[in-house]
Structure formats: structure tokens, C-alpha cells
């Protein structure tokens, strides 16, 4: 099996889905050739820096402008046509890579390389089966393209939406968003807490995605000032400034607090937590659902994450946390035995797709034949 996995490192979720697929392939087919390509960086590093840098800058400093652009691009054919035209131009650089690598199957976890592959297939420049893996709980209009053999979506709701957009139901697979095999294992909570220097008490996990964005500082202040006996784990991602700020805030607190940067052990920290407070990135919430961890949402990125939040809240698997609410009352309602917490765990189990990576690889293998 020679698999080429195309993604874009805008945020962390698209690349993590690609890594989960690669991990699954290499676990089951250790002799296969499998490569992940950060596609924009490969085809044009300057354009990559412009696009990814503008995206991160917009969601951090001008979220309202990004929201308008996101929803405009959903319905404005001029924006869609511009994106398609740019990706057509860039696709010819990708053709060189494909001809050299000679993959037997291609998987795309971001819409930009997906558009490039669709263009190359429409022009008959390549004749290789390809699948698109949508990494959110909503479908943006940049995702659906023609000339693909398969789409993998997060759930049946999205399959129905794709069918409404005119796509053949036979090529849409509601397998879920692929997560690493690590999230399928449930480790002993007490042993992990001891390893991490934590105690046997209510544990709050706060995450802000790979970039550490959102209202993390404000929600952290609320929790360290509450009177309940809790311990707090914060994962700040690559945001060094945020980590330094939280460490400074926590100096005078008597609570057990652990502040981390980017870590490969997110699965273990989810295992020790009683619930997670996070922005609703598609990958983070997929991992939390697999862990059947109650989810409390803050700071959705405008557009895709707002729609992820709506999906989770409407299905009873998550609650929006309000920064002005009394955290002691909130924590009292969310301790073990709480009917609300029990319902959220049950809905997480219902919505989770723990074997998305396995099913995705099975599909990729079938496309080769």
C-alpha cells in the first residue's frame, strides 16, 4: 500500500487526522510507503505563509472579520471560484510529487489539496483513487468537489447534508473523524494521577487547541478563585506567552495546578480528567467523545467551530460555559452523580466514532481495488 496523505497545517486538527490515518496504515501494513504532505507549504511556501498566517491572525485579532469571510465564502460563488482557480494553478506543482511518489491511493484532510486533486483528476493528469476526510461537524462549501471516489464525514447528519447537495450516497461514509489509537485505550486514572503528581480529587482539564487560543486565561482565573477543592490541568499548545501568563497567575494559588505546553499525552490527560473545557475544534472534540468525557465549550473560532458547538450542544453532549457564572455552583452541579453529567457521558458515547481511522483505512484499501 502506497498512500499519500495531503493536508494543511492551519491549526492542528487537519494534520492530526492525517497522522491518525498514517498511524493506522503503518500499524496494519508496516511495509507500506505512507507520506503526509503539508500541501500548501510544498507547492508554494510563500503562499502557504500568507494563507496560514492570515488565517491565524484573523481568528486571533479580527474574529468578526473572519466570521464574515467564512459565511460569505459559503454562499458567494466569487470567493468559491477564486479558491478553486488558485488551487488549480497550484495543483500542477502537486502533480510532480504524485508522479514521483506513485501512490496507490490519496487521502485529503483539508479542502485545499482536495480541490487540487479534483482538478488533476478532471484534467486526466492523474488516475488514482482519492478520498476526502472532512474534519469538522459541519460541511463548508469548499469541501464538496467532483471526481472523488469517496468522502468520509463525521456522522449520518453530514451524510444527509451531502446527499442534499447532490452527492451520491454510495460515496459518502459516516465513519467519523480519525483519531489516534491512543484514544481507544482507557488507562488507570489513579496510576496516571500519581505519575503526573496529581491527587485523587475533581480534575478539570482546560485546552485551547494546538495554538492555545480562546478565553483560557479568564476561565483559568475563575477556577483558581473558586472555593471547591479541585485540581486543574491546562494544555496551552504552542502558545508560550499564554503558558507564562498562567504560571504567573497561579503562583499564589493553593490549588494543585499543572500547566503544559504541547504534549503527545493528551489521551492520558483526558483519562485523568472528570471533564474538559475546550474550544470546539473538530479533532479535540472527536478525541473527547471517544473518551466519553463531558465537554464544556468556550471560545469557538467563528465559522466551523461555531457550527461544531451547535452540533454538540443540540445533541446534549456539550454545554457552553459562561465566564461570568459562579464556578462553585457550576462545579457542584457537575460532580459525580450529577444527572446532567451522566447524560453528557451517554451522549458522548453515542456520538463517538472510535474506529474512524480503522474504517478509513479499510475504505482506502478497498478503493485501490
C-alpha–C-alpha distance, residues 151 and 137, integer Å:
14
C-alpha–C-alpha distance, residues 261 and 14, integer Å:
19
Tell me where in the chain the CATH 3.40.50.2000 domain(s) lie: 2-179+354-368, 182-351
> What's the average model confidence in pLDDT over 36-46?
88
Check residue 7 and give its pLDDT.
Answer: 95
Instruction: Look up cell 503527545; give the residue.
Output: 264
Comparison of pLDDT for 51 and 359, the residue scoring more: 359
φ, ψ dihedrals at 53, nearest 5°:
-65, -40
> What's the average model confidence in pLDDT over 176-195?
95
Check residue 166 and give its pLDDT.
Answer: 86
Look at residue 232 and tell me whether its pLDDT is greater than 80.
yes
Comparison of pLDDT for 254 and 288, the residue scoring more: 288
Q: Which pLDDT tens digit goes with each residue over 117-169? A: 998 998 889 999 999 999 999 887 777 778 899 999 999 999 999 999 888 99
Predicted confidence band at 301 (pLDDT cuts at 50, 70, 90)? Answer: confident
Helical spans, DSSP H, in the chain: 13-28, 39-43, 45-61, 63-75, 77-101, 111-122, 156-164, 189-195, 216-224, 240-249, 266-272, 282-290, 304-314, 327-333, 339-351, 356-368
DSSP result, 104-172: SEEEESSHHHHHHHHHHHHTTS----EEEE--SSS--TTS--SS-SEEE-SSHHHHHHHHHTT--GGGE
Which pTM does this prediction carry? 0.89
Query: What's the grid cell of residue 170?
Result: 454510495
Q: Which pLDDT tens digit goes with each residue over 238-279? A: 888 888 889 898 888 889 999 998 889 999 999 999 999 998
> What's the average model confidence in pLDDT over 209-215?
60
**Fold of domain 182-351:** Rossmann fold (3.40.50)
C-alpha–C-alpha distance, residues 119 and 364, integer Å:
20
Q: Which pLDDT tens digit goes with each residue over 68-93? A: 666 666 665 655 566 666 767 778 88
**Fold of domain 2-179+354-368:** Rossmann fold (3.40.50)
Check residue 351 and give its pLDDT.
Answer: 96
Check residue 70 and give its pLDDT.
Answer: 63
Look at residue 336 and tell me whether its pLDDT is greater than 90.
no
81, exposed or middle or buried, with CB in 10 Å at 0-12, 13-18, 19+? exposed
DSSP, res 211: T
Look at residue 66 and tell me whether its pLDDT is greater than 70.
no
Comparison of pLDDT for 199 and 329, the residue scoring more: 199
Q: Which pLDDT tens digit goes with each residue over 93-117? A: 899 999 999 999 999 999 889 989 9
Complete edge-to-edge strand list for the sheet that includes strand 318-320: 256-260, 230-235, 202-207, 275-278, 295-297, 318-320
The mean of the pLDDT values for the chain is 87
Amino acid at each position: 500500500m502506497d498512500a499519500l496523505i495531503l493536508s494543511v497545517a492551519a491549526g492542528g486538527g487537519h494534520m492530526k487526522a492525517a497522522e491518525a490515518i498514517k498511524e493506522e496504515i503503518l500499524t496494519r501494513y508496516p511495509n507500506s510507503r505512507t507520506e503526509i504532505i503539508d500541501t500548501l507549504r510544498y507547492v508554494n511556501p510563500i503562499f502557504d505563509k500568507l494563507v496560514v498566517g492570515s488565517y491565524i491572525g484573523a481568528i486571533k485579532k479580527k474574529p468578526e472579520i473572519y466570521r464574515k469571510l467564512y459565511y460569505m465564502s459559503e454562499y458567494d460563488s466569487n470567493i468559491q471560484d477564486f479558491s478553486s482557480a488558485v488551487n488549480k494553478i497550484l495543483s500542477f506543482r502537486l502533480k510532480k510529487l504524485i508522479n514521483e511518489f506513485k501512490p496507490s491511493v490519496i487521502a485529503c484532510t483539508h479542502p485545499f489539496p482536495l480541490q487540487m486533486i479534483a482538478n488533476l483528476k478532471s484534467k486526466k493528469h492523474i488516475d488514482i483513487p482519492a478520498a476526502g476526510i472532512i474534519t469538522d461537524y459541519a460541511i463548508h462549501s469548499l469541501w464538496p468537489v467532483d471526481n472523488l471516489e469517496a468522502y468520509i464525514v463525521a456522522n449520518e447528519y453530514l451524510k444527509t447534508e451531502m446527499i442534499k447537495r447532490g452527492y451520491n450516497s454510495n460515496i459518502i461514509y459516516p465513519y467519523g473523524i480519525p483519531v489516534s489509537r491512543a484514544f481507544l485505550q482507557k488507562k488507570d486514572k489513579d496510576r496516571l494521577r500519581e505519575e503526573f503528581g496529581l491527587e485523587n480529587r475533581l480534575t478539570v482539564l482546560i485546552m485551547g487547541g494546538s495554538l492555545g487560543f480562546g478565553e483560557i486565561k479568564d476561565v483559568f482565573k475563575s477556577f483558581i478563585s473558586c472555593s471547591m477543592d479541585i485540581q486543574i490541568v491546562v494544555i496551552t499548545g504552542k502558545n508560550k506567552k499564554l503558558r507564562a501568563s498562567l504560571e504567573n497567575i497561579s503562583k499564589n494559588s493553593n490549588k494543585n495546578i499543572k500547566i503544559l505546553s504541547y504534549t503527545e499525552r493528551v489521551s492520558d490527560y483526558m483519562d485523568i480528567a472528570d471533564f474538559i473545557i475546550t474550544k470546539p475544534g473538530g479533532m479535540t472534540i472527536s478525541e473527547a467523545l471517544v473518551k466519553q468525557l463531558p465537554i464544556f465549550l468556550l471560545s469557538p473560532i467563528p465559522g466551523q467551530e461555531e457550527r461544531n458547538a451547535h452540533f454538540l450542544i443540540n445533541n446534549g453532549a456539550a454545554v457552553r460555559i459562561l465566564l461570568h457564572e459562579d464556578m462553585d455552583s457550576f462545579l457542584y452541579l457537575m460532580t459525580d452523580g450529577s444527572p446532567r453529567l451522566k447524560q453528557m457521558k451517554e451522549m458522548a458515547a453515542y456520538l463517538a466514532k472510535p474506529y474512524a481511522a480503522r474504517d478509513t483505512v479499510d475504505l482506502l484499501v478497498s478503493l485501490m481495488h
